[in-house]
Structure 1
Amino acid sequence: MAAPAEAGPVTHSVARTELPASRREPAGRKSQQRVKEILQAGRDVFSEKGYERATTAEIAQRLGISEATVFSYFRGKRELCARVIGDWYDEIIEAIESGLPRDGSVRQQFAFIVRMHLRLMLVNGTDLCALVLSEGRARHHELSEALTELQRRYTAPLMRVLAQGQETGQIRTDMPLRLLRSMVFGPMEHVLWDATLARRQTDIEATAAQLIEVLWAALQPPDAALSALQQFRHDVAEANRRLAQAEAAQKA
Structure 2
Amino acid sequence: MTALQRLAPRRVKSQLRVTELLAAARQVFSEQGFHRATTAQIAVAAGVSEATVFTYFPGKRELCIQVIKDWYDEISGELEREVPRLHGVHAKLGHVVRQHLFTLLADGSGMCALVLGEGRTSAPELAEVITECKRRYTTPLMDCLAQAIADGEVRQDMPLRLMRDLVYGSMEHVLWDSITTHKRPPIDETAEQLTSLIWSALMPRDASLDALARFRDEVSTALKQLDAQRPAPKAKRARK
Q: Higher relative contact order by CA 8 Å / sep ≥ 6: 1 or 2?
A: 1
Q: 1:136, 1:142 within 8 Å by CA — same for their partners in 2? A: no
Report the counterpart of residue 15 of structure 1 in structure 2. none
Higher helix share: 2
Equivalent of residue 228 in structure 1, options 187, 211, 216: 211
Q: CA deviation at 1:141?
A: 4.8
Q: Specify every segment of 5 or more residues in structure 2 that has no aligned partner in the other structure, as ranges.
A: 1-8, 233-240
Equivalent of residue 89 in structure 1, options 72, 77, 82: 72
Distance verdict in 2 for CA 1:27–1:96, change over 3 Å: farther
Report the counterpart of residue 31 of structure 1 in structure 2. 14
How far apart in 2 are the matches of 1:181 and 1:122?
Answer: 20
Q: 1:137, 1:147 within 8 Å by CA — same for their partners in 2? A: no
How far apart in 1 are the matches of 2:25 and 2:90?
Answer: 38
Aligned: 1:211 with 2:194: yes
Q: Amino acid of the residue matched to residue 176 of structure 2?
A: W
Alignment size in residue pairs = 222
Per the alignment, in what secondary structure is the counterpart of residue 28 of structure 1?
helix
How far apart in 2 are the matches of 1:43 and 1:243?
Answer: 63
Q: CA deviation at 1:91?
A: 1.4
Aligned: 1:41 with 2:11: no
How far apart in 1 are the matches of 2:152 and 2:88?
Answer: 12
* Residue-by-residue CA offset, 1:133-192 (whole Å, 9 max, x unaligned): 223323445411111101111111110121122122221010111111101111100111
How far apart in 2 are the matches of 1:207 and 1:46?
Answer: 27
* Residue-by-residue CA offset, 1:65-98 (whole Å, 9 max, x unaligned): 3323222221211111011111111111122222
Report the counterpart of residue 179 of structure 2 in structure 1. 196
Instruction: Return the TM-score normalized by structure 1.
Output: 0.79
Distance verdict in 2 for CA 1:240–1:210, change over 3 Å: closer
Aligned: 1:173 with 2:167: no
Report the counterpart of residue 91 of structure 2 in structure 1. 108
Q: 1:115, 1:205 within 8 Å by CA — same for their partners in 2? A: yes
Q: Amino acid of the residue matched to residue 91 of structure 2?
A: Q
Report the counterpart of residue 77 of structure 1 in structure 2. 60
Q: 1:37, 1:63 within 8 Å by CA — same for their partners in 2? A: yes
How far apart in 2 are the matches of 1:226 and 1:120?
Answer: 36
Per the alignment, in what secondary structure is the counterpart of residue 118 of structure 2?
helix
Distance verdict in 2 for CA 1:243–1:227, change over 3 Å: same
Q: 2:105, 2:184 within 8 Å by CA — same for their partners in 1? A: no
Distance verdict in 2 for CA 1:242–1:64, change over 3 Å: closer
Q: 1:165, 1:171 within 8 Å by CA — same for their partners in 2? A: yes
Q: How does 1:232-247 map to 2 (within 5 A)?
A: 232-235=215-218
Q: 1:195, 1:202 within 8 Å by CA — same for their partners in 2? A: yes
Q: Specify every segment of 5 or more residues in structure 1 that has no aligned partner in the other structure, as ranges.
A: 1-25
Distance verdict in 2 for CA 1:27–1:118, change over 3 Å: farther
Q: How does 1:81-160 map to 2 (within 5 A)?
A: 81-100=64-83, 102-124=85-107, 126-160=109-143
**Structure 1 stretch displaced more, 210-219 or 66-75:** 66-75
Distance verdict in 2 for CA 1:30–1:122, change over 3 Å: same
Distance verdict in 2 for CA 1:91–1:226, change over 3 Å: same
Q: Which structure is larger by alpha-carbon Rg, 1 or 2? A: 2
Q: CA deviation at 1:117?
A: 0.8
Per the alignment, in what secondary structure is the counterpart of residue 201 of structure 1?
coil
**Structure 1 stretch displaced more, 204-213 or 86-95:** 86-95
Q: CA deviation at 1:234?
A: 5.0
